[in-house]
Amino acid sequence: MLKIINVVGARPNFMKIAPVMEEMRRRADRLQPLLVHTGQHYDEAMSDSFFEDLQIPRPDVNLEIGSASHAEQTARIMIAFEQVIKEHEPDWVVVVGDVNSTMAATLVASKMSVKVAHIEAGLRSFDRTMPEEINRLVTDALADLLLTPSPDGNENLLREGVSPEKIRFVGNVMIDTLYAQMERASASLVLEQYQLQKKNYCAMTLHRPSNVDDKKTLAGILDALHSVQERLPIVFPIHPRTRARLEEFGLNSVIEKQKNLILTEPLGYLDFLQLYSNSRLVLTDSGGIQEETTALGIPCLTLRQNTERPITVTEGTNRLVGNDPAVIKREALNALDNPPTAGRVPDLWDGQAAKRIVDAIEEASR
Ligand code: UD1
């Protein structure tokens, strides 16, 4: 019997672990999966609602770490997670994505000689000012099994000297969840709630420190939205970090002036899926949403200079527009006037990644 601790911490982790936990539970004759939530995200809207929407089993352990500086948050997770490993003595720790919880759990497990599998390995923005890039580099340097979503991930890892036998191209597990939940999401009433007509509004998210932690940058992005929302409504579920900065910088009045810019609380998985999948255009700085829009062929403008998910640009519907207000405005209006043709769904974004992931973990245990 293989004992496996699956670790989640923040919102973008939940949709990646859901199909993996399900697949492991299907193999209960040989696998004993546990779920540990670090508590990096703790709000109902940022955490609990995802467990409900995605029918993820309740975590076996919640470390209740909460918010803090990067060093403190990482350190607290490490201290608490060390005890979990001592108590459960797992054969594997499985981590997903690139958040602080991913890196913290990896550091602890490797030092205790527990094997680590990293789901979504090999992605690189080559921008070390992003906290997530540091988390990716550290996690991939230590992990024993690197499960990549796209071939660029393999190339990056090989270039960094990771030995090929540790690397497996398994595809994008987030797309397993996306396909599995499409039908349930269609029952969401979010469009009625905000009086939206299909394909006649934009969806937007924004939470990267590089976009929201500087007043001038954030104000510029909001300005750029002005002429877009004159054309059609923009629905903007707002991340707690962004909400806090708007208050701090006194920018709420800029939003109130834009009648068609609709701010909402962070949405649950199913409501947000229903929202973006029926939108005309998505504006975002999220990593995962670049992939989800590519899988569904929805035009996406990414408000960043770089992406760790280049396949969404080369094959999918994503375009990088940075955070210069004039460029955002020009590109958004252009995308509305001349909708880009649908891209191609990348290889192995087929809804079967969790199966390949769990196969790879079992194989690597033999
Ligand atoms: C984290 C991840 C980021 C991911 C994002 C998705 C890291 C380094 N960053 O960023 O990669 O894209 O999650 O949301 O791990 N807060 C709440 N309630 C919560 C969680 C956070 O109010 O449930 C507030 C706190 O004030 C906190 C701030 O949001 O200070 C930021 O949270 P934190 O987890 O530090 O980073 P995120 O910006 O959410």
Residue 158 has pLDDT above 90, yes or no: yes
Between the CA of 239 and the centroid of ligand 1 the distance, in Å, is: 8
Residue 341 has pLDDT above 90, yes or no: no
Q: Is 88 one of the catalytic residues?
A: no
Residue 342 has pLDDT above 90, yes or no: no
CB of 100 within 6 A of ligand 1: the answer is yes
CB of 308 within 6 A of ligand 1: the answer is no
**Which is the closest atom of ligand 1 to the Cα of 99?**
15
- 111 phi-psi bin (left φ>0, alpha ψ -120 to 50, beta other): alpha
Between the CA of 361 and the centroid of ligand 1 the distance, in Å, is: 29
Assigned token pair, 358: 């769990």
CB of 240 within 6 A of ligand 1: the answer is yes
pLDDT in tens, 281-324: 999 999 999 999 999 999 999 999 999 999 999 999 999 999 99
| pTM above threshold 0.95 | yes
Q: Domains in the chain, ordered, with CATH?
A: 2-171+349-364 (3.40.50.2000), 184-337 (3.40.50.2000)
C-alpha span between 163 and 185 (Å, rounded): 41
**Number of Cβ within a 10 Å radius of residue 86:** 9
Paired with 3 in beta bridges are: 32
In this prediction, what percent of the chain has a pLDDT beyond 70?
A: 100
In this prediction, what percent of the chain has a pLDDT beyond 90?
A: 99
**Annotated active-site residue in 37, 207, 226, 239:** 207
Between the CA of 365 and the centroid of ligand 1 the distance, in Å, is: 34
Assigned token pair, 191: 């469009």
The answer for residues whose C-beta is within 8 angstroms of residue 214's C-beta and 6 or more apart is none
Instruction: Supply the pLDDT for residue 16.
Output: 98
